[in-house]
Chain A
Amino acid sequence: MPLVDSPSFEDPGTKLDLEDNSPPEGDSQQAMTLRVIAALLAVAVVALLFLNISAGAERYGTITGVVQDLEGNPLQAEVFVIGVGSDNSVFPDANGAFTLQNVVVGDRELIVGYNGIGQSVRVNVATNATADVGTISVDTALEDG
């Protein structure tokens, strides 16, 4: 018998397991799938974070109009918006025309204040757009005692 065919060359006790130790092919595919899902979710998180930030950012528009008394005379009344972004107020010009800028978009309550009374006008303001409320006639006889 040739030496190479001797049974001693095949020792079950020290035989190395030459089988492939890598995970089964199915496990590799599962791990890859999980990683793809994780990557997609991570992209979704980033996108949602961006959208949340964009939604929270304030957008502004402008309101214009004319203020007069019941006789049609221009009136120097204080014009402002209640609520968010309403720190600014304006007074109409000599013709009663006013422009109120930097108004946070949305449904807003415009106030025309004169002699202690504020006349309320509802107006919807859109982003980078001008909302014209037209002519506001103020009853100057109203008073607050």
Chain B
Amino acid sequence: MKTKIGFYRKKLNITQEELAQKVEVTRQTIISLEQGKYNPSLELAYRLTRALGQKKIEDVFLLNSR
């Protein structure tokens, strides 16, 4: 699943490590998410969306994109 995590993270000017600490995952997981290699649980998707300052999950995670 493609995501706009990297886009919003850079917009907020925070590092992968800082985002990882905010949502309580490892930096490696943030890297995998940004590369679209890992699909998070609903809970993690919500936490990431909030941490990136967005209101809708679908603004961050792009379903039906391969």
Q: Please indicate whether A and B come from the same complex rather than being unrelated chains.
A: no
Give A contacts to B, CB under 8 Å. Answer: none
B contact set with A: CB distance below 8 Å: none
